[in-house]
Structure 1
Amino acid sequence: MNATLDRTSAQIECELSIVMPCLNERETLVQCIRKAKAFLQREGINGEVIIADNGSTDGSQQLAEDAGARVVAIPVKGYGSALIGGIRAARGRYVIMGDSDDSYDFSELGAFVTKLREGWQLVMGNRFKGGIHPGAMPPLHRYLGNPVLSTIGRTFFKSPCSDFHCGLRGFDRAAILALGLQAPGMEFASEMVVKASIQQLRITEVPIILWPDGRSRPPHLRSWRDGWRHLRFLLLFSPRWLFLYPGAAMFGLGLLLMALLLAGPREVGHVQFDIHTIYYSSLAIVIGFQAVLFWVCAKLYGMREGIVPREDPRFDRFLRWFTLEHCLLAAGALLLLGVGAGVSAVIAWESTGFGSLAPEQMMRVVIPSGTAILLAFQLIYGSFFFNLLGIQADRGGLPIVQEDTHGL
């Protein structure tokens, strides 16, 4: 009984947990722990240092325990897995996480603690504002990878972070756990910022200094592989930029070109656009329409899973129109249009005794006919699938797809 009370009391009193992922970091681990513990002692903070060990084979675990840290074994491999396990094991109200390669100075965490105590829920370090020592960051990361990915993240998710992938960050433990972070690899860094931005947590930045890491071996990070994983993650979490905007642009451009060329070929300068352009316009229309349908699916699924905000007035207004009944009516109109154009083409073919036809004229009818029929069936099957997603979402307490109770 007394032991249980003591553990509970320690958890209540612990203000800050400093969490470091570890995979064979014996060269730098003890130095990082000593700096972190010196900071806690100097500032009079009741805290702890946690080493989330991801299966080290170089004796890092014993070195960490001897240095006064609490070692938590994380069997599932990956940077994200190690940190998720360490955060869950933390006892502090606040957590500051950072790599154990001595590239971050754990003795200078005062700005993070100040911001956390002010009520900020995620405090990101910013290496570009604080300073990057020579050799601390490869040029590819400094001038291409980080700026590009940070710009994409700010654009897609309206995030205030200008150093999206800084590994030194502090946060309110309960608020971050509520995000349900799951990424096992390096993209965990993006997942935290993306979900925190989507859920509108209070986010700020503090300048930090990045030092060259103290290891003699290469880092675990792989530039192109992990850069792609970050970019892929950002795209998957932003269905508008992945599906809606490109799809709508392709659909609109294809429709415009087809409409311009239905009456006959057009010349721009010395270039003539004819039925071949109509064919590729049809492809653009179909692909664009399919991309927009994928956006609706991704949006519905994301709202159900908490990946994108559940409150979206514009999408809700769209769905009030986008009922199964309305979709079937629109698909029926497209099908009639396509079949009607196809019938007219067959009649024209019959008038020649089913002989040869002038392709320049007939393809202006056949291609739009096939396009309309294809769009009709895409819309029919898509609308039934959206309705299925809506039923599943409604079971979870999220009414998404509206039924038309007035019938047809």
Structure 2
Amino acid sequence: MDRSPPALSVVLPSLNEEETIADCITKIRQVFADLGTEGEIIIADSSRDRTPEIAASLGAIVVRPEKMGYGNAYLAGLARARGTYVVIGDADNTYDFLEIPQLLAPLDAGADMVLGSRLRGTILPGAMPALHRYIGNPVLTWLLNRVFHTHISDSHTGFRAIRRDALECLHLKTGGMEFASEMIIEAAIAGLRIEEVPITYHPRLTPSKLQSFSDGWRHVRFMLLYRPVPFLAVPGLFFAFFGLSLMLLFLVRGDVETYRFHSFILASLAFIGGLEGMLMGLIIRVFSVVHGYGRQSAAISRLLNYNILEWGIAGGSLMMTAGVIVGLGIVYQWAAAGFGSLSQIANAVWALALFLAGIQILFAAVFVSMMLLKADQKEE
């Protein structure tokens, strides 16, 4: 029996697509015949209807993902694919699989991955809601391009082709809708050559399974997982430095409670909020490295040193102690005044700011230490 790999694998995730799966498989078979190539069709199915039976009757390979989810379906299907080229697309017939040769041509010319762009192609009436076409997809694509230095027009197209050797360079693991972003992000990080071709996008025959706002947020959250430093840490550092500088300036000039009280309050908010944003960005960056969603840089390597974390715990404890001392000083003066009226608002703000900053730094250092402990246990 010939076990040599086919030239082309087409992988389709499916969830209750009994109305369209036959049309999709028929078109793919027609492409195989037109190209005169050997191919395989893999249906990663999680349906409760007749989709898997129909697909199997038409000669497709049906695999059953262990978990539900768009990404889990693709992970199961791609693990089974053996083709030199791999094409992926939805089983709802919104993509015209007769256009597969258009995706393969750039691969033959040297591209590593090809995206079928709906926004540069033709979107038939009723195929894409206006919210997705004019706001959702363009905004998310712009954000991905800016953060990961890509130059694509439709980052959420589900119609793609990739070379087998390029696919093996991608560390794909996401089980949900974020898989669409993960594939492009991993390709960008790996330095793969990504090209686009215009395609035609057709209306669905059955209701869409997408949830506009929750799925959109999932993609933003996933990009944040890969790049928390520009999203959170850098802006946080700026606001923390700006707020603390103003607080110190007001302290030196004096008369805070008389002339600059409201500005002083805003400066303390900028300091505490900025510090929280910076620490959250660093925590997310450590989380992404520990769980394989990013490469470990020299700066992160230094941050992951236990000695640095111990310094963080010590520094946070000292700031908390300073806040407590300032607070106790206020209580002492209040007692000395016979527990009468007291004007110590500025000192109270300093006490609160120092205590909150210290506890944030302390908890961040402890939390990062716990993540590293978990990572060390996995390595053992």
For the aligned pair, the TM-score class normalised by the smaller chain equals 0.7 to 0.9
Tell me by how many angstroms 1:378 deviates.
3.1
Tell me by how many angstroms 1:149 deviates.
0.8
* Corresponding residue of 2:349: 367
* Corresponding residue of 1:208: 198
**Is 2:51 the partner of 1:69?**
no
What TM-score do the two structures reach when normalised by structure 2? 0.85
**Superposed CA offset, 1:14-54 (max 9, x none):** 12101122233333322222221222222232211222222
Match runs of 1:6-405 below 5 Å: 6=1, 9-10=2-3, 12-57=4-49, 59-74=50-65, 76-173=67-164, 175-176=166-167, 179-198=170-189, 200-213=190-203, 215=205, 217-262=206-251, 263-265=254-256, 274-310=260-296, 312-316=297-301, 323-327=308-312, 330-331=315-316, 334=319, 337-338=322-323, 341-342=326-327, 345=330, 348-349=333-334, 352-358=337-343, 362-393=344-375
- One-letter code aligned to 2:198: I
**Aligned partners of 1:90, 1:248: CA distance in 2, in Å?**
46
**Aligned partners of 1:181, 1:89: CA distance in 2, in Å?**
14
**Aligned partners of 1:280, 1:385: CA distance in 2, in Å?**
28
**Aligned partners of 1:89, 1:306: CA distance in 2, in Å?**
23
SS of residue matched to 1:323: helix
Distance 1:347 1:100, change over 3 A: closer
**Aligned partners of 2:64, 2:363: CA distance in 1, in Å?**
48
**Aligned partners of 2:91, 2:364: CA distance in 1, in Å?**
49
Q: Percent identity?
A: 35
**C-alpha contact (below 8 Å) 1:136/1:210 kept by paired residues:** no
**Aligned partners of 2:320, 2:18: CA distance in 1, in Å?**
68
Distance 1:120 1:294, change over 3 A: same
**C-alpha contact (below 8 Å) 1:55/1:74 kept by paired residues:** no
Distance 1:322 1:160, change over 3 A: farther
* Corresponding residue of 1:402: none
Distance 1:273 1:299, change over 3 A: farther
- Structure 2, unmatched stretches of 5+, are none
SS of residue matched to 1:48: strand
**Aligned partners of 1:36, 1:381: CA distance in 2, in Å?**
55
**C-alpha contact (below 8 Å) 2:11/2:41 kept by paired residues:** yes
- One-letter code aligned to 2:364: G
SS of residue matched to 2:119: helix
RMSD of aligned alpha carbons: 3.2
**Superposed CA offset, 1:99-158 (max 9, x none):** 122222212222432333455443222222233233332211110010011112122333
SS of residue matched to 2:201: coil
Aligned residues: 378
Distance 1:293 1:130, change over 3 A: same
Distance 1:220 1:390, change over 3 A: closer
Distance 1:37 1:368, change over 3 A: same
**C-alpha contact (below 8 Å) 2:125/2:203 kept by paired residues:** no
- One-letter code aligned to 1:309: R
